[in-house]
């Protein structure tokens, strides 16, 4: 069988095979044509409208034509402007050339007149002769005194220059400026100014008195309200509320002591300290450059160096420093200092007593609450709660030695 397969086909067999292939191809073509004729596509899948993506609409065409017309108009205007500029330049050039020729003719000696014989008025006098250059004058060396004598009185003292007018700035003339509520324009006249200042001081006092009266009325209302609350608390067996009446406010400028305002620091002291610092300081690269001569035995010993100025730091002078709530500035005077310390101790004892009383009240309330809980626990058969009474706190400033507080 293998030998039969390997044998070459005869011409008749090859012709039969070609006919078979051609018949198969024709059959396939007929089949596909029949299938394509039977298959019909719907018109809805075909875009037959005019608004195609690649097609240009009428609005787009009109916009494009409008843009092209505007572009042509701009180009035409630019070309007309350039042409007009060139024409103006040529016209000015021709005019200048004509004037130059006319000036050359006038300079050569010709004269121009009108038909009636009148001479035209030119801005340039062409009949005037040119000025011949004068020989340089020899400078004579004279003294300043001789030159001042040779000058005329007018040349000696030139007229004084006018002094510039100094205009002071007046903020009231600035119409667009917005002032605050406390701004009060003062007149330039001294009498009117003092009168205006007196009126302002009277208004300030009136405002202060009004605030004081209102504050007093509020304090009376609060006192009446506190009395009613204390009556209610006394009916319930509670202690009365503490009074919180504030001291009457005084006028802010009533007790100002001008002597308490510190004077500015001495600039000479600062300058001397700075000079001493510069003398003591020596740069590393300058060491050994300046050597003093050896002293002779007869020379006296140099005076002792001045003692450095010791300036105690006063924290009250530091205006930008922020102190805590417990900071109290103490005066420099010993009597005033002891008085201030006594006041602070009295305030400390008062604060301590108040805290002690409040703590006692809280402990009594907790004891009553604990007793009620223990009674309830005893009814249920539970053990009572333990007592947690704390020891009595002592006054923190009781054992303070006033002599141990350092002076500034």
**pLDDT value for 96:** 93
Identify the weakest region by mean pLDDT among 36-45, 244-253, 266-275: 244-253
**pLDDT value for 343:** 86
Give the mean pLDDT of the chain: 74
**pLDDT value for 382:** 79
Model pLDDT for residues 81-107, shown as the tens digit of each residue: 999 999 999 999 999 999 888 888 888
361 Cβ contact partners less than 8 Å away, ≥ 6 residues apart: 239
DSSP secondary structure, 187-255, as one string: PSSHHHHHHHHHHHHHHHHHHHHHHHHHHHHHHHHHHHHHHHHHHHHHHHTPPPPPP-PPPPPPPTTSS
Specify the higher pLDDT residue, 358 or 379: 358
The band of 68, judged by pLDDT with boundaries at 50, 70 and 90, is: very high
- Distance from C-alpha of 382 to C-alpha of 370, rounded to nearest angstrom: 14
Specify the higher pLDDT residue, 346 or 52: 346
The band of 2, judged by pLDDT with boundaries at 50, 70 and 90, is: very low
Model pLDDT for residues 271-312, shown as the tens digit of each residue: 788 777 766 666 667 666 655 554 555 556 777 777 766 655
**pLDDT value for 216:** 92
**pLDDT value for 91:** 94
| Mean pLDDT on 340-366 | 88
- pTM passes above 0.75: no
In percent, how much of the chain has pLDDT > 70? 58
- Distance from C-alpha of 36 to C-alpha of 327, rounded to nearest angstrom: 106
**pLDDT value for 140:** 53
Q: Which of 190, 171, 170 is nearest to 180 (CA)?
A: 171
Specify the higher pLDDT residue, 205 or 395: 205
In percent, how much of the chain has pLDDT > 90? 13
Assess whether pLDDT exceeds 90 at residue 79: yes
Cβ burial, residue 97 (10 Å; 0-12/13-18/19+): exposed
Residue for token digits 């006692």?
360
Tokens of 149: 């004598």
Assess whether pLDDT exceeds 70 at residue 262: no
- Distance from C-alpha of 97 to C-alpha of 1, rounded to nearest angstrom: 119
| Mean pLDDT on 379-396 | 65
| Mean pLDDT on 39-65 | 69
């Amino acid at each position: 069988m293998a030998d039969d397969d390997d044998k070459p086909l005869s011409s008749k067999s090859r012709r039969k095979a070609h006919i078979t292939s051609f018949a198969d191809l024709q059959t396939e073509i007929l089949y596909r044509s029949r299938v394509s004729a039977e298959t019909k596509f719907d018109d809805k899948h075909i875009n037959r409208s005019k608004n195609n993506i690649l097609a240009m609409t009428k609005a787009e065409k009109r916009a494009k034509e409008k843009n092209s017309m505007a572009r042509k108009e701009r180009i035409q205007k630019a070309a007309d402007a350039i042409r007009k500029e060139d024409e103006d330049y040529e016209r000015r050039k021709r005019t200048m050339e004509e004037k130059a020729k006319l000036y050359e003719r006038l300079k050569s000696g010709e004269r121009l007149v009108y038909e009636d014989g009148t001479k035209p008025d030119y801005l340039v006098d062409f009949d005037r002769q040119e000025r011949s250059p004068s020989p340089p004058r020899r400078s004579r060396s004279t003294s300043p005194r001789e030159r001042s004598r040779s000058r005329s009185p007018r040349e000696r003292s030139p007229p004084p220059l006018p002094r510039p007018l100094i205009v002071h700035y007046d903020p009231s003339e600035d119409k667009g400026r917005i002032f605050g509520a406390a701004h009060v324009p003062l007149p330039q006249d001294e009498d009117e100014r003092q009168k205006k200042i007196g009126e302002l001081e009277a208004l300030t006092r009136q405002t202060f008195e009004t605030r004081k009266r209102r504050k007093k009325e509020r304090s009376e209302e609060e006192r009446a309200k506190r009395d009613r609350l204390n009556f209610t608390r006394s009916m319930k067996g509670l202690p009365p509320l503490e009074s919180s009446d504030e001291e009457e406010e005084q006028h802010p400028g009533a007790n100002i002591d001008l002597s308490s305002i510190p004077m500015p620091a001495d600039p000479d002291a600062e300058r001397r300290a700075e000079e001493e610092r510069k003398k003591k300081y020596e740069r590393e690269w300058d060491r050994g450059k300046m050597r003093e001569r050896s002293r002779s035995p007869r020379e006296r010993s140099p005076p002792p160096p001045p003692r450095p100025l010791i300036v105690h730091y006063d924290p009250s002078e530091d205006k930008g420093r922020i102190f805590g709530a417990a900071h109290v500035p103490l005066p420099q005077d010993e009597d005033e200092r002891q008085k201030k310390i006594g006041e602070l101790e009295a305030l400390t004892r008062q604060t301590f007593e108040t805290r002690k009383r409040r703590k006692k009240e809280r402990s009594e309330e907790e004891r009553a609450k604990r007793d009620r809980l223990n009674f309830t626990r005893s009814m249920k058969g539970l053990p009572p709660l333990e007592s947690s009474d704390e020891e009595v706190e002592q006054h923190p400033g009781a054992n303070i030695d006033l002599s141990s507080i350092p002076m500034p």
